């Protein structure tokens, strides 16, 4: 845990350095596509430093100057499966984005959807040292959290304090300076498979890039698609990707739960491919052009040529009605949504005051999903598109780019991960220079 | 079974190779970019130029070529000066200038040092001002203004002609050559030519009798008339003193009398010096008046 903490702090330092240099790339490693956006930071926004969130939700500070997507290779269920292939795909995306931005990028923030994330709620409690709560108290209370045994081969990806409590008062977002005796914190811990992180880091290193941050795509997609009041009142974001469907629940502007369902749009495609006996590429094309969830009488008459390449005339001239296609797609989409329902039930989503559900990601663009999803998930469902970001090309504004856009916001907005707070003074060596510097800074 | 439309190429899925990717990134680095786009061509050019110049044969060839081009331009007919035209000079000065200017015509206008020629001509005493230009048509035009001699100055060495500023114009062998000009004599006379001219002008009524002006002690003038008469003028306001004398002459016919000097050095107390016979005569007359019998 300490090792990862140090790693994350190192990545944070790198991210700060990159923002000072002004250019950073965000990389969305997905199952069906790899997207890369190059961001340019035009100096730190003044208001952002003071208020936490500046004008345009802190987006005025950056601008997208390069964007590229490429077909993903070697990624399954949001995890790297064939390293060389993935590396090639990342190279392609990065090179194209650099070419568009006409600038060299050295730092990259990556997101991925798989790696079977698991959420933990941990709590810590500590006596306040002075009369008022200081930064050091916050650092201590977070260090005092009893970390659950999340198992061998897992790493912490996100660790965010979601709630502070001071004596009998709970629900504080910032207890600094308040008077009290006992400070307690609730922290949300998200662990993922260490091997996946290592693979991503290795691929990025092979591309001569520095990894300046990692995030779960469930989290970043929610950052981009949930509007502010949804994040505040409680909402679930369902990022329907190619190989995995990410679920994250937000409450009081903090992520309190995240998980993935290892099913996605690629499974729908493979169902079509198997059911109609056509290649994956054709199945994908048919899905994109003619796919749907709700069949009407009209769809029986709409015939789709599915073609073939065998030389057998009868085989190559097959047609299928659109309702048949819908008949193949619907059960799989229903299955995905059922699985999401299960995850939400397990997370206790029913107990949240607001039950808003936002569907985003590439697979959320299937026509008719807005009428199917409410039957399974609940009444308050909407299809979310990512926030508009300055300079983003029109082609990259669709729902499929939710996690890439969310990663831009993640890079630009102030961070509230555990490692972004101060280190407790007690962990410094007794006679270190840093301790002296910290003492001076705290007292003057 | 073979596909019938097998001519369709398999779907391409290009990805940059590791090296292509690295080179592209390097190319996007501003330093490398500047080096390749500016540094390298400049270096190559300088290297080639340096290598070419380092060979002495090439250096000579360059100098030779430059000289040749220069000559070919200089000797074009547009730039040749065929003759010199002198305006405003008397024949003597004209000849002197032609002897003095050491240019063989025709010459290229690039070879003519107009400033030096101008300084040389201006150095002549007779020259008041001179301007030189090369007129279209290959003519070097010398426009000269000669000094006008207004007075003669007799010195130990001979007679000089002076202009109205006192500058020497030329020498003269005999006074009779320029009988029309008045004569001045004495050390430092040339420095007071203006005053001398004013005096000569004022002495108009006695002009036929005027012999000349003598500078005395480099400070004042004597006006010399015939019959050895002298009007000694003061240092300051000599013209007024002279006019005083001329007024006396007008009224009492003073200068026709038997005087040698009219001393006006103190204008408030004019003094006359008479000739010896006149003095004797005056004494005689005075003795009659006093009733003295001899």
Q: What CATH number is attached to the domain comprising B110? A: 3.10.20.310
Residues B137, B165, single domain; the answer is no
Tell me, what's the pLDDT at A156?
84
Contacts of A311 in chain B (CB under 8 A): 1-4
Contact A310 B1 (CB under 8 A): yes
Which tokens in the block code for residue A59?
A: 């987006």
**Domain assignment present for B43:** no
B41: distance to nearest CA of chain A, Å?
Answer: 22
Contact A309 B5 (CB under 8 A): yes
Tell me, what's the pLDDT at B293?
57
Contact B16 A92 (CB under 8 A): yes
Q: Choose one of B126, B146, B166: the last residue of a domain.
A: B146
**Domain assignment present for B52:** no
pLDDT digits (tens, 9 = 90+) for A113-150: 888 888 988 888 888 888 888 888 888 888 888 878 88
Within 13 A of B117's CA, how many CA atoms are on the CB side? 23
Residues B226, B107, single domain; the answer is no
Tell me, what's the pLDDT at B78?
79
Tell me, what's the pLDDT at A48?
47
Instruction: Work out the number of other CB atoms within 10 angstroms of the CB of residue A370.
Output: 15
Q: Please report how the helices B114-122 and B91-100 are oriented relative to each other, as an axis angle in degrees rounded to 10.
A: 130
pLDDT digits (tens, 9 = 90+) for B257-268: 788 888 888 888
pLDDT digits (tens, 9 = 90+) for B212-249: 888 888 888 888 888 888 888 888 888 888 888 888 88
Cα distances from A430 to residues A177, A216, A427, B143, in angstroms, run 26, 37, 8, 101
The CATH code that applies to domain A265-330 is 3.30.420.40
Q: Choose one of B111, B126, B146: the last residue of a domain.
A: B146
Contacts of A103 in chain B (CB under 8 A): 28
**Domain assignment present for B45:** no
Residues B115, B175, single domain; the answer is no
Candidates B2, B3, B12, B21: best to mutate against A (most CBs of A within 10 A) is: B21
**Domain assignment present for B23:** no
**Domain assignment present for B70:** no
Q: Choose one of B90, B116, B146: the last residue of a domain.
A: B146
pLDDT digits (tens, 9 = 90+) for B56-100: 898 999 999 999 999 888 888 878 888 888 888 888 888 888 887
A195: distance to nearest CA of chain B, Å?
Answer: 24
Tell me, what's the pLDDT at B181?
81
Contact B15 A207 (CB under 8 A): no
Residues B165, B278, single domain; the answer is yes
**Domain assignment present for B31:** no
pLDDT digits (tens, 9 = 90+) for B114-147: 888 888 888 877 788 888 888 887 888 888 888 8
* Planar angle of CA B1, B7, B10, nearest 5 degrees: 90
- 3-state SS, chain B, equals CCCCCCCCCCCCCCCCCHHHHHHHHHHHCHHHHHHHHHHHHHHHHHHHHHHHHHCHHHHHHHHHHHHHHHHHHHCCHHHEECEEEEECCCHHHHHHHHHHCCCCCCEECCCCCHHHHHHHHHCCCCEEEEEEEEECCCEEEEEEEECCCCEEEECCCCEEEECCCCCEEEEECCHHHHCCCCEEECCCHHHHHHHHHHHHHHCHHHHHHEEEEEEECCCEEEEEECCCCEEECCCCCHHHHHHHHHHHHHHHCHHHCCEEEEECCCCCCCEEEECHHHHHHHHHHHHHHHCCCC
The answer to whether residues B86 and B142 touch, using CB atoms and an 8 Å cutoff, is yes
Domain borders along chain A are: 118-193, 265-330
A289: distance to nearest CA of chain B, Å?
Answer: 20
Mean pLDDT of chain B: 82
Tell me, what's the pLDDT at A388?
83
Residues B190, B275, single domain; the answer is yes
Tell me, what's the pLDDT at A360?
92
Tell me, what's the pLDDT at A55?
45
**Regions in chain A scoring below 70 on pLDDT:** 1-5, 43-60, 414-415, 418-420, 422-431
The answer to whether residues A96 and B24 touch, using CB atoms and an 8 Å cutoff, is no
Percent of chain B at pLDDT > 90 equals 9
Contact A208 B25 (CB under 8 A): yes
Task: Indicate the residue of A88, A99, A311 with minimum beta-carbon distance to B4.
Answer: A311
- Range list of H helices, A184-263: 194-206, 217-225, 228-233
Residues B240, B272, single domain; the answer is yes
Instruction: Look at A304 and B179; give whichever has higher pLDDT.
Output: A304
- Number of folded domains in chain B? 2
Domain A118-193: which CATH class?
Answer: alpha beta
pLDDT digits (tens, 9 = 90+) for A188-231: 888 888 888 888 889 998 888 888 888 889 999 998 898 888 88
What is the residue range of B161's domain? 151-289
Tell me, what's the pLDDT at A47?
46
Residues B161, B278, single domain; the answer is yes
pLDDT digits (tens, 9 = 90+) for B3-32: 555 555 556 677 888 888 888 888 888 888
Residues B132, B167, single domain; the answer is no
Residues B127, B211, single domain; the answer is no
Tell me if the pTM is above 0.95.
Answer: no
Question: What count of residues does chain B have?
Answer: 294
Q: Which residues, 6 or more positions from A348, have their beta carbon under 8 angstroms from its beta carbon?
A: none
Residues B90, B204, single domain; the answer is no
């Amino acid at each position: 845990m300490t090792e990862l903490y140090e790693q994350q702090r190192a990545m944070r330092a790198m991210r700060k350095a990159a923002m000072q240099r002004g250019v950073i790339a965000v990389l969305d490693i997905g199952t069906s596509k790899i997207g890369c956006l190059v961001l340019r930071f035009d100096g730190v926004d003044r208001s952002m430093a003071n208020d936490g969130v500046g004008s345009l939700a802190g987006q005025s500070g950056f601008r997208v100057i390069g964007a590229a997507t490429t077909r993903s290779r070697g990624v399954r269920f949001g995890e790297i499966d064939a390293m060389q292939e993935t590396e090639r795909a990342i190279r392609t995306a990065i090179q194209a984005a650099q070419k568009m931005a006409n600038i060299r990028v050295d730092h990259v923030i990556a997101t991925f959807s798989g790696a079977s994330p698991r959420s933990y709620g941990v709590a810590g409690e500590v006596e306040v040292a002075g009369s008022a709560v200081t930064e050091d108290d916050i650092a201590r209370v977070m260090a005092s959290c009893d970390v659950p045994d999340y198992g061998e081969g897992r790493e912490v990806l996100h660790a965010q304090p979601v709630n502070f409590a001071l004596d009998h008062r709970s629900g504080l977002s910032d207890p600094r300076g308040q008077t009290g005796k006992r400070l307690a914190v609730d922290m949300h811990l998200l662990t993922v498979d260490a091997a996946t992180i290592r693979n991503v880091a290795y691929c990025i290193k092979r591309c001569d890039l520095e990894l300046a941050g990692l995030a779960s795509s469930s989290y970043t997609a929610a950052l981009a698609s949930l509007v502010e009041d949804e994040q505040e009142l409680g909402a679930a974001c369902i990022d329907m990707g190619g190989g995995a469907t990410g679920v994250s629940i937000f409450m009081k502007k903090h992520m309190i739960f995240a998980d993935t369902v290892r099913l996605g749009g690629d499974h729908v495609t493979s169902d079509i491919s198997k059911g109609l006996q056509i290649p994956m590429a054709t199945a994908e094309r048919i899905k994109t052009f003619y796919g749907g969830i709700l069949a009407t009488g009209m769809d029986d008459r709409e015939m789709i040529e599915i073609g073939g390449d065998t030389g057998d005339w009868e085989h190559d001239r097959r047609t299928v009605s659109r309702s048949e296609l819908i008949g193949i797609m619907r059960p799989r989409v229903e299955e995905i949504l059922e699985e999401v329902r299960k995850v939400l039930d397990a997370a206790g989503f029913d107990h949240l005051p607001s039950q808003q559900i936002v569907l985003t990601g590439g697979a959320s663009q299937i026509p008719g999903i807005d009428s199917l999803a409410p039957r399974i998930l609940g009444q308050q469902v909407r299809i979310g598109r990512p926030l508009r970001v300055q300079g983003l090309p029109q082609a990259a504004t669709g729902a499929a780019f939710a996690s890439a856009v969310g990663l831009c916001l993640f890079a630009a907005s102030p961070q509230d991960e555990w490692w972004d707070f101060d280190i407790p003074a007690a962990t410094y060596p007794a006679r270190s220079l840093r301790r002296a510097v910290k003492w001076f800074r705290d007292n003057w | 079974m073979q596909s019938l439309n097998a001519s369709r190429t398999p779907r391409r899925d290009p990805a940059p190779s590791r090296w292509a990717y690295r080179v592209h990134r390097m190319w996007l680095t501003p330093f490398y970019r500047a080096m390749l786009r500016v540094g390298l061509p400049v270096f190559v050019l300088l290297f080639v130029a340096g290598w070419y110049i380092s060979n002495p044969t090439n250096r000579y060839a360059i100098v030779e070529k430059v000289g040749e081009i220069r000559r070919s331009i200089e000797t074009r007919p547009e730039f040749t000066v065929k003759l010199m035209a002198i305006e405003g000079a008397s024949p003597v000065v004209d000849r002197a200038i032609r002897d003095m200017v050491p240019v063989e015509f025709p010459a290229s206008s690039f070879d003519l040092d107009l400033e030096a020629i101008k300084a040389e001509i201006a150095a002549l005493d007779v020259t008041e001002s001179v301007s030189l230009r090369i007129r279209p048509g290959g003519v070097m035009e010398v426009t000269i203004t000669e000094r006008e001699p207004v007075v003669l100055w007799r010195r130990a060495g001979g007679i000089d002609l002076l202009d109205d500023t006192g500058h020497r114009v030329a020498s003269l062998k005999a006074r009779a050559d320029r009988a029309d000009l008045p004569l001045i004599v004495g050390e430092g006379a040339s420095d007071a030519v203006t005053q001398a001219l004013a005096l000569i002008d004022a002495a108009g009524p006695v002009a036929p009798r005027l012999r000349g002006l003598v500078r005395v002690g480099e400070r004042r003038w004597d006006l010399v008339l015939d019959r050895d008469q002298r009007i000694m003028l003061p240092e300051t306001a000599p013209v007024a003193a002279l006019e005083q004398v001329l007024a006396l002459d007008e009224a009492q016919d003073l200068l026709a009398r038997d005087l040698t000097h009219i001393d006006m050095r103190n204008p408030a107390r004019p003094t006359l010096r008479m000739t010896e016979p006149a003095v004797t005569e005056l004494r005689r007359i005075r003795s009659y008046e006093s009733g003295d019998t001899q």
